[in-house]
Structure 1
Amino acid sequence: MPSGSFNFPSARSACTVLLRRLRLAWREARPVVQLIFLLRFAAGAALGVAGSVYGAVNRPALLLAALGWLATTWAVYLLNGVADVVEDRANGQARPIARGELSRRPAVAIVWALSVAALVFAAAVSSTQVLLTAAMLGVGWAYSLGPWPLKANLAGFVAAVTALGVLTYLAGWSAAGGGRVTEPVFLFGLMMSLWMGLGGSTKDLADAKGDRLAGRKTLPVLLGDRRARAVMAIAASAVGWTFAVLCAIRGNGILPAAVVVLAGSAALSGTVLTSSSRGSRSAQRRPYRVFMVTQYCAHLALFGCLGLTSPL
């Protein structure tokens, strides 16, 4: 082939491989989780807009920030998939890395590319957005990797997952213009982040086998199945009732969203304490599905409270 010519078949093949890897990397990062992170970001932005006294929102900057945050959470969860391959295989997970469809090396390369893209998008918005993005990536790394990954113990799990939530709400709020952190921003962001950290532990019920193999100290591993379920029910109820009571007392306009969380906590408690969540892996994941549905419904309720169909 003459010097300087271009091999179109090879280029098409490389492009096909790259697109396939990106598609698998997206599946590995769990699209349903990525969507809820976008809703958290949007909620922070919506609450920031509702409490802003600075006029119109810079919508192009907000869109750039949202794209950057999507790249951030994608990188965090893809990295987690790379780190969790041992326990995922033991638990029979159908994710691409555990199944061998996506090897760890290209997955790590995609993590790096997404991280760089996230920081570039953030830099186009503000220095605050860069700091929040860097913090999110740092927490994600500390959760999955390092000599003492936070995922390996209960306190680390709750702290890291709660921090990922708080940072996401703050990123949306900052991208919408920042300003004063109003009570609805603080309360909704904090309580929904605690819901993540405490209610999210229900996913460990179905993963106890792999977690033991990997040396992780989750609630089911530490306490056994029965007592772990009781603690999960108490924790979920505590978040639901605290959120609802505080909103009712303060009258801050987001009570309907808090009522959704309260109802979700009751449903989660009922599910986790009964035989409906015992037996097969699918049954054991029912409390986690209740947890996820509650998050989605709470955010949609919040947008309804604010009279918005889309904060972007």
Structure 2
Amino acid sequence: MVQAIFLLRFAAGAALGLASGAHGVAGRPGLLTAALGWLATTWAVYLMNGVADVVEDRANGKARPIAQGELSPRAAIAVVRILCVAGLGFSAATSPAQALLAAAMLGVGWAYSWGPWPLKANLAGFAAAVITLGLLTYLAGWSAAGGGRPTGPVVLFGLMMSLWMGFGGATKDLADAKGDRLAGRKTLPVLLGDFRARLVMAVSASSAGWVFAILFAIRAAGFLPAALVVLAGSATLSLIVLSRVSRGSRSAQRRPYRVFMATQYCAHIALFGCLGPIWSL
């Protein structure tokens, strides 16, 4: 699911670039090569995180393969190296700009999970890294489509969905407080406690949804349906995170996060609908 949403972000950036009148750096083969490079890059970042999160994942009872002992950290690191080479190789074969973006993605991913002061360990670092990873992905799609200097809708949509990653993505910490506390991570539930963390999540998500809807109505009305999806998702997330349906079992605590993920998918589908027949790209 994580790789699927990253590919959707990449596709959104590429579709916006093509809709602006740009042409892919090498047509369809170039876009496919760039997409493969980005898939390998994001896969490497996710696998890095799986190795780094073993302590908290086991404490939280997560089913990730490294935490479950189905994949050894040593084997995972070997795969990470292969994926890094593949990601940089495919990206470099597309264009120098793609190679730079892939290298930046890997650098931020490393700093998030493995750096000397891992960004995942504190709230500000988490938000900065997650938002940056989102922005880089939209830029990579835009660049692969030959979009040139980012302008207009790609900036608004990329910024909206990247900030949504930071605001909405934090809801996963509700179910992970035990392991995060054990690992020394300073997430909202660890810092504020469950009740106040939920209030902050509800207010921030709702505020973001309204701000995005207003900005799109003023600056990019043609893409307003995508912003309205985020607005609806933010309202739903706010209601669920404050209600009893997101308390109790781990599965219940993850309901706000599921709303966050569903909102991402629906917003991208809405964007593609606004762009018209993009499936021929």
Q: TM-score range by the shorter chain?
A: over 0.9
User: For 1:279 and 1:199, how far apart are their aligned partners in 2?
Assistant: 20
Please, which of 81, 97, 121 is the counterpart of residue 66 of structure 2?
A: 97
The alignment partner of 1:254 has SS state of helix
Match of 2:125 in 1: 156
Unpaired stretches in structure 1, ≥5 consecutive residues: 1-31
Residue 48 of structure 1: how far off its partner (Å): 0.4
Write the mapping of 1:44-63 to structure 2, written as runs, cut at 5 A. 44-53=13-22, 58-63=27-32
1:100-249 equivalence runs, <5 A: 100-249=69-218
**Superposition map of 1:83-94 within 5 A:** 83-94=52-63
Which residue in 2 is equivalent to 1:72? 41
Distance in 2 separating the partners of 1:39 and 1:274? 30
Moved more, 81-90 or 177-186: 177-186
Normalised by the length of structure 1, the TM-score is 0.88
Counterpart of 1:268 in structure 2 is 237
1:174-206: CA deviations, max 9, x gaps? Answer: 000122422101000001000001110000000
Distance between the aligned counterparts of 1:57 and 1:235, measured in 2?
A: 41
Please tell me whether Structure 1 or Structure 2 has the larger radius of gyration of its CA atoms: 1
CA distance, structure 2, for counterparts of residue 230 and residue 311 of structure 1: 44
Partner of 1:304: 273
8 Å contact 2:119–2:126 — kept in the other structure? yes
Shift in alpha-carbon separation, 1:214–1:190, aligned structure 2, 3 A: same
Find the aligned partners of 1:156 and 1:40 in 2 and give their Cα distance: 22
**Distance verdict in 2 for CA 1:290–1:160, change over 3 Å:** same
Q: Partners of 2:116 and 2:221 in 1: how far apart?
A: 43
**8 A Cα contact 2:13 2:142, kept in partner:** yes
Would you say how many aligned residue pairs link Structure 1 and Structure 2? Answer: 281
**Percent identical across equivalent pairs?**
77
Q: Counterpart in 2 of 1:41?
A: 10
Report deviation, 1:311. 6.6
Q: Could you say what secondary structure the match of 1:216 adopts?
A: coil
Q: Is the 8 A contact 1:257 1:301 kept in 2?
A: yes
After the TM superposition, which of the residue ranges 74-83 and 245-254 deviates more from structure 2? 245-254
- Residue 93 of structure 1 and its aligned partner are, at CA, apart by 0.6
Distance apart, 1:43 and its partner CA: 0.1
Provide the rounded CA distance (Å) in 1 between the counterparts of 2:202 and 2:99: 37
State the shift of 1:54 in Å.
5.5
